Structure 1
Amino acid sequence: MSIDILKKNLSERLNLSRRSFLKSAAAGSATLAAGGLVELKTAKEAKAFAYEPYPTDDQLETVVTSCAHNCGSRHMLVAHKWKDVIVRLSTDDGRYQRGGHFGKDSNDEPQLRACLRGRSYRQRLYSAERLLYPMMRVGERGEGKFKRISWDEALDIVANKMVQIKDTYGPTALVDQSYAGASYGVLHKSDQIEGLLGRFLGMFGCRTSSWSVPSYQGTTFSSRMTFGTIEDGNEDDAFAHSKLMIMWGWNPAYTFHGGNTFMYMRMAKQRGCKFVLVDPQYTDSAAAYDAWWIPIRPNTDAAMMAGMAHYIFTNNLQDQGFINKFCQGMDAGTMPEWAKDKENFKDYILGKYDGEPKTPEWASKVCGVPAKDIIKLADMYARTKPAALKASWAPGRNAYGEQYNRMAAALQAMTGNIGNLGGCAEGVGKAWHAEAVAYPYDQYSNIWFQSIKSDRWAHCVLNYPNVKREEIGLWQREDNTDGQIPNIKGIFWQGSDWFNQLTNINKEIEAINKLELVVCMDSTITPSGLYADILLPIATHFERHDVALPWYKGHYYIHRPKVIEPMGESKSDFQVFTELAYRIGGDVFGKAYNPKANRDYFHVDEHVDEAYLREWWEQKVMHHQHVDMSWDEFKQRGVYKFTFDQPHVAFRDQVENGTRFQTPSGKIEILATQLAQITDWKRTMYGYEIPYIPKWVEPWESLNSPKTAKYPFHLVSPHPRWRTHSIFNNCSWLRETYEQEVTINASDAKKLGVKTGDTVEVWNDRGKVVVPAYVTERCMPGVAVLHEGVWIDLDENGVDRAGNPDMLTLDEPSPAGAFAYNTVLCDIQKTDLEHRPGWDKLATSRAHVFRRDL
């Protein structure tokens, strides 16, 4: 219909010209002016509904469930549903646990309140980007052209191609890149070690695993070398007893590491705790707790900590009694007999070996923090008991990031702040131990034929067979396949958007086109999905039966019933892998993979999932953890909250009762036994030598590098509050509140001629992104901040118009596995290039890209 015809029709229907409208309006005004209101007898009572009929709360069914992502906690969501539609989401209000009532909220059983991400999940559930049907690529990878196919077609394609790839290229040809992004529970688990995909590909006999965790691999390495475990965290109620809290690279307002963190830290503040922030940014957490802000050059944290250690040692402020009893290699007196000829930490700090004492003045030149501030902080930390040095993960996401975490552990130990209430040994920060696995965890789990560092798959593909094992972090095997370079021809993304999230995206784009099979299993069409051959629609946690685990902190379980039926043709990961097992290997493979299921599990899953979960609860939770709540009562209530006699403190038992640490020496290993005894580094997963004591190692890019002549800014990419990595990027409710932008200091902006809202390009040799600028004094000069996780949106020249910092990151191997997300130099300038805010500002859907009938 033309616009002229539309105007004519409207005019005829309304029979109202501009002249008659003005005339009527004037008459109406005169009537009102005369003191009378015109009664329109034909008027009806106005009623506005979102849809008809609009149910009231007492008409809605209420179902307890939870969040599902690795955002720092997994807390309660309460779904209010009308028939099979979730109308709204609320959260814990105290009434659901045993003995609960509306408003109950105590230190022992705090409410498990969801954050703004969880509360917005309904928009993700009903998103226009929701993947509802199996799809097959019909265009080029990354072009976004797919056609709908049946499940039979999709699974046949995947199964046949898997068999062909295995037969042609051998048992290393398929890469497992599952992660805990969108499919994590005790039964439906995407995980590198205990996951459903790893079990499936391992039993199939073709799997190269990905051994490194992007968020905290350097931290994991440090905790295992130092303490023998990653369970080095206190439960967050212990923070309420701290007298000094050093938030080193930690912004708990954005990344909780326990959902009630802020409450307990507020309690500490009320009791007189002093707060310090060491970070290139003045964060919201610093503002909330009136913290002393110490700006530090990115990637120099280990140097500043070495300067603190020097001050503590030279002023004899260390807790020597604790050191002598619990530490190995802290000083000459704690060296084991077999290592008498090796370096100890104290003498390294004092400069005995290299002639360079790591004084506060030396550290100041490296990290940019005035020596007087390093001294002041060191003195505060050494003299305040108990004190919590919370060494967060972000500074470990750097080249040689493990040295920062190991240096932090040395400071924690030398001041005796480990194993005591209010202190802190945290690196990884994992606290209370949950019973995490409900499906069969047996001899078939975590089988792999090679294992490489997660973000080196593209390097391996592009350079095969001319790849050195140290270049890809090849794990040592105790058989004749040790050293064999994987011939990668296919990749599975399950519960992960790793194509969007790993380092050096342009290198991944180059590598992806050399693969023969790319499968993406997700509930949403993500950037990873755009580069897939087959998209498999996976049910969300609202559409399958499971139990939620706390994420590293928190002591509770939350029941996750099937709140609504799966939308479209969605299936659970467990259903998909079970059906693929039957198609590939018949009853032998199918029954071995999923012992409680028959072939009809793909269509009817309730009784099977229920059987696994009930068995897990009764045989593991009730038996091992002495829970007296039955499975049926747990289902009815929706939550079980553990209560402890005293706050959970990592290594309390070792310090108070003399239990051995889980290290070879049974002590806190400042000198790591395992590292000190390695003779051939190339035959390890690390590939390159790692110091056996904590040391300052110069990163390959920093503000101290001569590369700043070309790229003068150091870019860091912290986690945003409004996404969980890349999850929720297409949620307009959150996008209306926050925007993807690069934060720069006001003095830098003045030199660049940039003001807030200007579009700038940020680039280096690896890529270029276009984003708006945000100018502030809350970021130190020379540093740029660009939050991770935004969905890439490339123009014809490969420039990312959305602003993903991983277009600029480098995938070089950091020996202990740390991902160098924050080891990035770049330049910035005002630009006329297009920024595509997409979901960021306009809240517009690009679903038409994926809905073509081809």
Structure 2
Amino acid sequence: MTPAPASRRFPSLCHWGAFTATVENGRLVGCTPFPRDPAPSPMLAALPAMVHSPLRITRPAVREGWREGKPRTGHDAFREISWDEALDLVAGELTRVHAAHGPTAVFGGSYGWSSAGRVHHARTLVRRFLALGGGFVDQIANYSFGAAQTLLPHILGTFQPVTGRATDWPSVISNAKLMIAFGGLALKNSQVGSGGVGAHDTETWLRRARAAGVGFVNVSPVNADAPEFLDAEWIPIRPNTDVVLMLGMAHVLLSEGRHDTTFLERYCAGFDRFADYLVGKTDGTAKTPEWAEEICGVPAQKIRELARRAADVPTYMTATWSLQRAHHGEQPYWALITLAAMLGGIGLPGQGFGFGHGSIHGPGLPRLSLPGPEIPPPPNPAKCAIPVARIADMLLDPGGTYEFNGERLTYPDIRLVYWAGGNPFHHHQDLNRLQRAFQKPETVIVHESWWTPTARHADIVLPATTTLERNDVGGTSRDPFVFAMHKAIAPVGEAKNDIDIFAALAERLGYAEAFTQGRDEMAWCRLVYQGIRDGAAKKGIDLPSFQQFWAEGVIELPAPERDYVLMEEFRADPVAHRLGTPSGKIEITSDVVQRFGYDDAPPHPAWLPPAEWLGATEAQRFPLHLLTNQPVRRLHSQTDPGPVSVAGKILGREAIRLAPDDAAARGLRDGDIVRVFNARGACLAGVVIDSGLAANVAVMPTGAWFDPSPSGDGLDVHGNPNVLTPDIGTSRLTQGSSAQSTLVEVEKFVGALPPIRAFDPPSLARDAAPV
């Protein structure tokens, strides 16, 4: 009898949870969740198949037709080459472009979800490599909360409240009586966290809050955005109109004298000018509940009841990140802060406002305030960066001007794109436009582990290891655990980790010592851990040595001695702890923003109709508002070819949820394949009828791998909704993503279903002849 293969176990971490990897005969065969995790993510089950997927890139490859200038189609053939030849090609292209066009002709693309490990964090590494090499065009802000990241410093002096540092759940549980969640509290989103998740305990805290008597209100077009056990009151609002509901509530507080005048006078600036707008002195329109009802669809009486209820009891209000990913997405965030200021609870235990609940793991979880395990990149000599959501604009309009946060700027002329970590053919909007934009650069270089849509749109592809094929340290400032990530298997094929790739390139380009700093992989792991240890020591906490940490695989930081309350110090003494705004106060009206003179970003919260919403003229052609949310079976586009994600598809296509009446009006039933379309493009999807949706609302998860039809008709056959979303900035102030302002129509697909090719590796020539 053949003996069973010996199993080996290794601690590791991914963005959706910590786990122990089980390896047999050099292959990952299982992932056992972290024992302290009360609600492990089912996405862990996808990892073995993904690590050993036929979609793994096993050798460096060059796109056929690159040298001839043939367009990138996403379905091109590639030819595999040796590492030496690939590295020489990349070094040569960087040298050529720098010499001919300067550092602002090189764009360093990346996105932070590449790895939970901080040593092999691709965005940090590509920025360090390109900065040390003379400079590059960087990205600022992000897709997740880019509008808020630029807006909040004008209101609060910092954007930190949007990154997850919110009033602790114990404070809310002990003091709040009402929690109003604009955008909901979807548990599926708390399954993931940048830098990893130790214990998925958001559900635990929500259940404790409900048991303590906290009442919940879910303001969202989607009933499922609040878990059933909360018994939340559902207010099905029209998408993109949350600011209107908030303005109606604010009008009630003002007209009935329920606003906290003492707080507004002592801690805020510019409320008088906002009040003039609220009552109609500035534009002739009072923002009454009746006015709000016509726009947002919430009955005026319900608006009054909600405002009065919030004023009568200690209330905590939240807004998801998704609200600001819309045209004029700054306004609901500004209005929420203003509404909380009118209620007067900011800085008090369990009251005020928070952001990101229902968007990611971490907001409100008690954690000692220590920096996360990060390695900051060096300064960029080029001193040039664009808002991340403006990538296609930059590539399509070199030399064109745009406005951003008070500045008039010029797009650089990009000749080379260097991308490591992330998938812009998932994150970006109007993917057909992005595909056209990707024809502009002379060369696109990508580090990738799988043949993703981004890798397929590259000219030179360098195979990168996964987290299971290298050593690392993982953790985040939103979670109390720090994890050792042990190398579990040998690199698949000829894959190399990003540090080694960049070090080899830096050697060819003459700055290897500056890049590596004389450290190997384990030395970088020690450095990252020592940073955490030093930060803890400053607070009198003695963490284990690196040797002990590495051997045990995890440390847990001690719980904080007291609850954290957002803006508590400012509340106690607004002079000693003045905010970083010009007035030192919460700026309900911002003189700085007013001086910018933007007609799409007024100096205080306001209702500005989005380019696309159910009240727009365009809704006559495309009468459904499409909301694109985080999928439950994957993280963004990660592991989409894996078994967990694939099991949720309908005939291989992504699902679209429709309300019963909307489906019936189109003659649709569960399981039908439909064409979802607007003027920008179309995609195929499988119907799921959902009685928990507001009327005229459709919902699709993002992240299905982009699979454009070879016919060039703008159809994505797999179900990526970002072929439909508009690639416009939230405003000239913040230039964030406007993905949630999308109108579509849906019709039953007729004819033979086109094949899905997203999960088929490209045609590969196996010879290693010189290019």
TM-score by length of 1: 0.81
**1:734 to partner: Cα distance:** 3.2
- 573, 581, 588: which one pairs with 1:670? 588
Aligned mate of 2:631, from 698, 709, 720:
720
Q: Is the 8 A contact 1:77 1:119 kept in 2?
A: no
Partner of 1:650: 566
* Matched position secondary structure for 2:355: coil
Match of 1:776 among 678, 690, 693: 690
User: 1:205-224 counterparts in 2 under 5 A?
Assistant: 205-224=134-153
What code does the residue aligned with 1:493 have? Answer: W
Is 1:802–2:718 an aligned residue pair?
Answer: yes
CA positional deviation for 1:449? 3.7
Q: Distance in 1 between matches of 2:20 and 2:755?
A: 32
Partners of 2:154 and 2:127 in 1: CA distance: 26
Residue 10 of structure 2 corresponds to which residue in structure 1? 63
Match of 1:609 among 509, 524, 545: 524
**Aligned match for 2:414, one of 468, 480, 488:** 488
Match of 2:512 among 574, 583, 590: 590
Judging by fraction of residues, say which structure has more strand. Answer: 2
Aligned to 2:344: 416
Compared CA separation, residues 776 and 291, structure 1 to 2 (3 A): same
From 161, 169, 181, the equivalent of 1:247 is: 181
Deviates more, 1:497-506 or 1:213-222: 213-222
Measured at CA, do residues 296 and 814 of structure 1 come closer, stay the same or move farther in structure 2, by a change above 3 Å?
A: same
The one-letter amino acid paired with 1:810 is P
Report the Cα distance in structure 1 between the residues aligned to 2:489 and 2:447, rounded to whole angstroms: 20
Letter in 2 for 1:168: A
Counterpart Cα distance in 1 of 2:53 and 2:167:
37
Aligned counterpart, 2:68: none
Q: Which amino acid aligns with 1:374?
A: I
Question: Which segment is superposed worse, 730-739 or 391-400?
Answer: 730-739
SS in 2 for 1:254: helix
2:740 & 2:522 partners in 1: Cα distance?
A: 47
Corresponding position: 1:560 with 2:474: no
Residue type at the aligned position of 1:379: R
CA contact (8 A) 2:180 2:318 kept: yes
Report deviation, 1:123: 2.5
Tell me which amino acid in the other structure corresponds to 2:737: F
| C-alpha separation in 2, matches of 1:754 and 1:775 | 9
The structure-2 alpha-carbon separation of the partners of 1:152 and 1:261, relative to structure 1 and needing over 3 Å to count, comes to same
What is the one-letter code of the residue matched to 1:246? I
* Contact preservation (8 Å) 1:274, 1:291: yes
Q: Does structure 1 retain, via aligned residues, the 8 Å contact 2:155–2:586? A: yes
- The answer to whether structure 1 residue 497 and structure 2 residue 410 are counterparts is no
| Equivalent residue for 2:112, pick from 165, 174, 180 | 180
- Cα distance in 2 between the residues matched to 1:119 and 1:349: 52
Tell whether 2:720 aligns with 1:786: no
1:629 counterpart = 2:533: no
Distance 2:649 2:9 in 1: 30
1:571 to 496, 499, 512: 496
Deviation at 1:651, TM superposition (A): 1.7
Alignment correspondent of 1:702: 613
Residue 235 and residue 850 in structure 1: after superposition, are their counterparts in 2 closer, same or farther (change >3 A)? farther
Deviation at 1:771, TM superposition (A): 1.1
Alpha carbons of structure 1 residues 112 and 162: separation in structure 2 relative to 1, 3 Å: farther
Counterpart secondary structure, 2:506: helix
Q: Determine if contact 2:328/2:600 at 8 Å carries over to the other structure.
A: no
The one-letter code matched in structure 2 to 1:787 is: P
- Against the structure 1 CA distance between its residues 622 and 579, is the aligned structure 2 distance closer, same or farther, given a 3 Å change threshold? farther
Q: CA offsets, 1:576-629, max 9 Å, x none?
A: 222212211x2xx221222124xxxxxxx4443344335434444544673432
Q: Judge conservation of contact 2:19–2:32 (CA < 8 Å) in 1.
A: yes
Distance of aligned partners of 1:775 and 1:263 in 2 relative to their CA distance in 1, 3 Å threshold? same
- Quick one: distance in 2 between partners of 1:834 and 1:247? 44
State how far apart, in whole Å, the 1-side matches of 2:170 and 2:61 are.
47
2:266 counterpart (314, 319, 325): 325
1:452 is aligned to: 386
Matching residue of 2:333: 405
Secondary structure in 2 matching 1:568: coil
**SS of structure 2 residue aligned to 1:90:** strand
**Aligned-pair CA distance for 1:428:** 5.2
Is the 2:330–2:730 contact (alpha carbons within 8 Å) kept by the matching residues of 1? no
C-alpha distance after superposition, 1:116-155 (max 9, x if no partner): 2234322222222122221111256212411221211111
The whole-number CA distance in structure 2 between the counterparts of 1:488 and 1:628 is 46
On the 8 A contact 1:802/1:836 being kept in 2, the answer is: no
1:524 is the counterpart of 2:524:
no
Instruction: Check the 8 A contact 2:659/2:689 in 1, yes or no.
Output: yes
Per-residue deviation, residues 69-102 of structure 1 (Å, max 9, x unmatched) = 3xxxx532122333643332112224xxxxxxxx
Task: Rate the CA distance shift 1:284–1:812 in 2: closer, same or farther, 3 A.
Answer: closer
Q: Are 1:752 and 2:666 an aligned pair?
A: yes
Would you say the 8 A contact 2:389–2:736 is kept in 1?
Answer: no
Unaligned runs of 5+ in 2: 66-70, 194-199, 358-362
Q: TM-score, with normalisation over the residues of structure 2? A: 0.89
Q: Is 2:182–2:220's contact at 8 Å kept on the other side of the alignment?
A: yes
Cα distance in 2 for partners of 1:665, 1:637 equals 50
Structure 1 Cα separation of the partners of residues 647 and 320 of structure 2: 29
Unmatched segments (≥5 aa) in structure 1: 1-46, 95-110, 333-343, 477-481, 598-604, 682-687
- Distance (Å, rounded) in 2 between the aligned partners of 1:556 and 1:622: 16
Give distance in 2, aligned partners of 1:294 and 1:674.
35
**What secondary structure does 1:64 align onto?**
strand
Q: Give the Cα separation in 2 of the matches to 1:657 and 1:85.
A: 58
1:53 deviates by: 4.2
Instruction: Name the residue aligned to 1:435.
Output: 371
SS at the partner of 2:698? strand
Letter matched to residue 120 of structure 1 = A
Q: Does the residue aligned with 2:354 lie in a helix, a strand or coil?
A: coil
Matches within 5 A, 1:126-205: 126-138=52-64, 141=72, 142-191=74-123, 195-205=124-134
Q: Is the 8 A contact 1:199 1:447 kept in 2?
A: no
What CA distance in whole angstroms lies between the structure 2 residues aligned with 1:703 and 1:455? 24
Q: 1:396 to 1:151 in 2, by over 3 A?
A: same
Separation in 1, partners of 2:571, 2:720: 45
Q: Greater CA deviation, 656-665 or 727-736?
A: 656-665
- Give the 3 Å change call, closer, same or farther, for CA 826–237 of structure 1 in structure 2: same
Q: 1:615 to 1:304 in 2, by over 3 A?
A: same
Query: What is the one-letter code of the residue matched to 1:629?
Result: P
Helix, strand or coil: the match of 2:189?
coil
Paired residues of 1:474 and 1:483 also in contact (CA < 8 A): no
Aligned length: 731
Once the two structures are aligned, what percentage of the paired residues are identical? 29
Query: Aligned to 2:313, which of 364, 384, 396?
Result: 384
Tell me how far apart the structure 1 counterparts of residues 479 and 746 of structure 2 sit (CA, whole Å): 41
What one-letter code is carried by the residue in structure 2 that aligns with 1:391?
A
**1:660 maps to 2:578:** yes
8 A contact 1:419–1:425 mirrored in 2: no
Task: Sort the Cα spacing of 1:119 and 1:732 in 2 relative to 1 into closer, same or farther, 3 A.
Answer: closer
